[in-house]
Amino acid sequence: MRYSGFRVIKEALTGHKGWKPVWREPEPKPHYDIVVIGGGGHGLATAHYLSKVYGQRNVAVVEKGWIGGGNVGRNTTIVRSNYMLDGNEPFYEFSMKLWEGLEQDLNYNAMMSQRGIINLFHTDGQRDAYIRRGNAMILNGADAELLDADQVRNEHPYLNFDDARFPIKGGLVQRRAGTARHDAVAWGFARSADMYGVDIIQNCEVTGLRIESGKCLGVETTKGFIGANKVGCAVAGSSGRVMSMAGMRLPIESHVLQAFVSEGLKPVLPSVITYGAGHFYVSQSDKGGLVFGGDIDGYNTYAQRGNLPVVEDVCEGGMALMPMIGRARLLRMWGGVMDMSMDGSPIIDRTPVEGLYFNGGWCYGGFKATPASGHCFAHLLARDEPHPVATAYRLDRFRTGRTIDEKGVGNQPNLH
């Protein structure tokens, strides 16, 4: 069923009796061409692009719980392409362009809102770094704009400009950036993939990978064995657990990132804002809540909850940036498990096991990458070669020294 304004009017006049469930609940077939492990944003996007762009119709997505119940259902919804390094920026700009056409592509309202992002700077050195980053963005076809303090004041008069220690000197703006409704992204990809015949199998946990003579033959699940010519793993957060079934150790640690939402307020924040003197980023949802977050907790964990020192640190960042936030009451907070990779950049690649492919290591920036991650992983699965914008995301780059370390902190995952 295609959605349209006409459809809404028709259903309104006929008592809304014509709406159908947007995806089927199939039982697994004994064998598929491609099985994607993980029904989150990236796995469902992979299924969508596999079926729609790469013509693969005999595809299944297997999900342990319900689709969209992991990090795509628990993030701060920011979409942007303001990276600097060659390995990253073309990929994220590709993703940004996919976001811009996503709702038409999926025929689904993902509430994509290009309200812009501003990264504030507080020192001359930071200004230089942001100029460099902005130029790298422009060279890769993205948009970037440098604002001085007066221009920032004009757009965001409520910020703490004259802080004695960290005065706001200006900001780097990407106008095309913004936010999207995270759940709707997962549901939109799922609905589209389902319409192209992809089987989305929920409540089906992968308990093992069947590997014989170095080749992956399929997945053992709680609903029995499912054979596959190719298996793609897109389970960021749990990559270590799933890939250990293939005996692999990864350049990844699992960490928890906390995020916070205030009570609903009238519109106060016109765009996404990041603080340059501490780790704090904030936007306002369409419902009115201030959505914000900061650093990861910093220790290995698979528990979807964090500890209080980081809560304090994030709130201090918020108070330093915009003291008015102290008047808002916190409505809810949560923690999600992240694949923190050794250089802060993701991996989309084959593995040493034939027929087994890996997508992970998204750190805490996976949401913005969802469409491009799916597109590039589908390209890899369908054609057995990396997509041109994802050639740097190799699994062996740590062995060969070709790391993509945007922050320049080395192999210390909790600092990325």
Partner 1 sequence: MIINHPLLGPRDASEFTYLGDASLIDRPDWQAENASEAFYEYGYLRDNPAGEHQELWYHEAGDRSWLVVTRNTLTHEISKVELARDVARARGRSK
Strands 59-62 and 199-201 come out as parallel
- The C-alpha atoms of residue 47 and residue 200 are separated, in whole angstroms, by 9
Does position 351 bind partner 1 by CB under 8 A? no
User: CB under 8 A: which stretch of 86-94, 211-219, 295-303, 374-382 binds partner 1?
Assistant: 295-303
User: CB under 8 A: which stretch of 7-15, 106-114, 210-218, 407-415 binds partner 1?
Assistant: 407-415
Could you tell me if 397 and 377 are in contact, meaning their C-beta atoms sit under 8 angstroms apart? no
Min. distance of Cβ 155 from partner 1 in angstroms? 36
Among 300, 323, 331, 385, binds partner 1 (CB under 8 A): 300
Does position 207 bind partner 1 by CB under 8 A? no
Residue 276: CA count within 13 A, CB half-sphere: 27
- The C-alpha atoms of residue 14 and residue 122 are separated, in whole angstroms, by 58
Does position 73 bind partner 1 by CB under 8 A? no
Among 43, 87, 251, 294, binds partner 1 (CB under 8 A): 251
The string over 246-283, giving b where at least 16 C-beta atoms fall within 10 Å of a residue's C-beta and e elsewhere, is bebebbbbbbbbbbbbbeebeeebebbbbbbbbebbbb
Please give the residues from 162 up to 191 whose contact with partner 1 meets the rule CB under 8 A. Answer: none
Among 301, 345, 351, 359, binds partner 1 (CB under 8 A): 301
| Continuous segment of H or E residues that includes residue 347 | strand 347-350
Give the burial class of 13: count Cβ atoms within 10 A of its Cβ; 0-12 exposed, 13-18 middle, 19 or more buried. exposed
Min. distance of Cβ 256 from partner 1 in angstroms? 10
Size of residue set near partner 1 by CB under 8 A: 25
Min. distance of Cβ 410 from partner 1 in angstroms? 9
Among 18, 302, 385, 388, binds partner 1 (CB under 8 A): 302
Residue 77: CA count within 13 A, CB half-sphere: 30
Could you tell me if 386 and 228 are in contact, meaning their C-beta atoms sit under 8 angstroms apart? no
Among 249, 266, 327, 329, binds partner 1 (CB under 8 A): 249
In a 3-state reduction of DSSP, which class is residue 273? strand
Min. distance of Cβ 314 from partner 1 in angstroms? 14
Does position 241 bind partner 1 by CB under 8 A? yes
Among 44, 235, 413, 416, binds partner 1 (CB under 8 A): 413
Does position 352 bind partner 1 by CB under 8 A? no
Does position 409 bind partner 1 by CB under 8 A? no
Min. distance of Cβ 345 from partner 1 in angstroms? 13
- Cβ-based nearer residue to partner 1, 165 or 399: 399
- The C-alpha atoms of residue 250 and residue 241 are separated, in whole angstroms, by 10
Could you tell me if 236 and 360 are in contact, meaning their C-beta atoms sit under 8 angstroms apart? yes
Interface ranges with partner 1 (CB under 8 A): 238, 240-241, 244, 249-254, 298-303, 307, 309, 342, 398-399, 411-414
